[in-house]
A = this chain, B = another copy of it.
Amino acid sequence: MTATNYILIWGMNDVVIVEEIIKQALIEDCPAGDAAGDPLFNDETTAARLIAKENGIVSGLSVFEKTFKTVDPDVSVKTNKQDGDPFKKGETLAVVHGRIRSILRGERIALNFLQRMSGVATLTRSFVHETKGTKASIYDTRKTTPLLRALEKKAVWDGGGHNHRMNLSELAMLKDNHLKSSANVKEAVNRVRRAIGDDIRIEVEVETITAFKEALSTSCDIIMLDNMSLGDMKTCVHLNGGEKILEASGNMTLKRISKVAATGVDMISVGMLTHSYKAMDLSLKF
């Protein structure tokens, strides 16, 4: 059974015709021939192993495979892991078989994708780990790498996190700047609701308990507690009494995350999952 033409998000799938991204990435890396590989090889084949050089969570194996297939349909990739699986230093995650010069062509690009996505998944998993036993879920943000949002959001999912709104169209988030448009929060929420109809949720961002109370009295669905102290968060959870969905946000670090989760909020969004991750150290051995 061949693969479908979309990749998986939500532990499930998201259509991103990644093919286009892969093609562009390959052209970016080789606009006018491989000056080293092309003169040296014809159709000689080899097998190359994808080796982990540190521990982590893998994400992006289908992108890795599709990159080689785009270069040369004859290359085959056998994977020992599935996206979301943990791996140990020294483990072989996959074996790539095919023409040497095709593997040399795809190698760097395939790794550039896989190392980044696995970096996101690994970082996410460590945040998720810190919140175990609480009702809080870890969410990503829109602070993603331009053009790679779908890949990074999938990696967050593979790491055990949840995906916050994919884009501006999916959720109406009212921040400070939005609220200046109206006499008060309630009016702003109502104006948005009338405009967008009943399909889409509305979230209001607050920074103080006073603002939180005002938001509570509107028909919004979610309230974001932005940069609040742990004490204030607890107060909000208490005042809320389960009425609205509560999201904590603002420079979340691994150190602080378990305490935030313990306040009783439902969602914690972490910008660094997608903007300041470290690429995993993975390499291809011929």
| Residue positions of A touching B, CB distance < 8 A | 1-2, 4-6, 8-15, 17, 21-44, 46, 70-74, 99-102, 104-105, 108-109, 111-113, 115-116, 119, 137, 139, 142-150, 153, 162-178, 180-182, 188, 191-192, 194-203, 222, 245, 247, 266-267, 272, 275-279, 286
- In the complex formed, the residue of B with least CB distance to A112 is B146
Q: How far is B222's CA from A152's CA once the two chains are assembled, in angstroms?
A: 30
* Given A112-B146, A142-B29, A169-B170, CB of A197 within 8 Å of CB of B39: no
CB-based contact B166/A32 at 8 Å: yes
Q: For A180, list chain B residues within 8 Å (CB).
A: 286
Cα A175 to Cα B174 in complex, Å, equals: 31
List B contacts of A182 (CB < 8 A).
Answer: 40
Q: Compute how far the CA of A163 lies from the CA of B32 in the bound complex, rounded to whole angstroms.
A: 10
With a CB–CB cut-off of 8 A, which chain B residues contact A111? 143
CB contact under 8 A between A192 and B36, given known A115-B275, A199-B170, A200-B170: yes
Distance (Å) between the CB of A255 and the closest chain B CB? 16
Given A32-B166, A34-B169, A166-B169, 14 extra CB contacts under 8 A: A4-B72, A4-B99, A8-B38, A10-B33, A14-B30, A15-B26, A15-B34, A28-B31, A31-B169, A35-B168, A35-B192, A115-B143, A171-B200, A276-B277
CB of A29 within 8 A of CB of B71, answer: no
Q: Residue A2 contacts which of B31, B74, B113, B247 (CB distance < 8 angstroms)?
A: B74
| Chain B residues whose C-beta falls within 8 Å of the C-beta of A203 in the assembled complex | 199
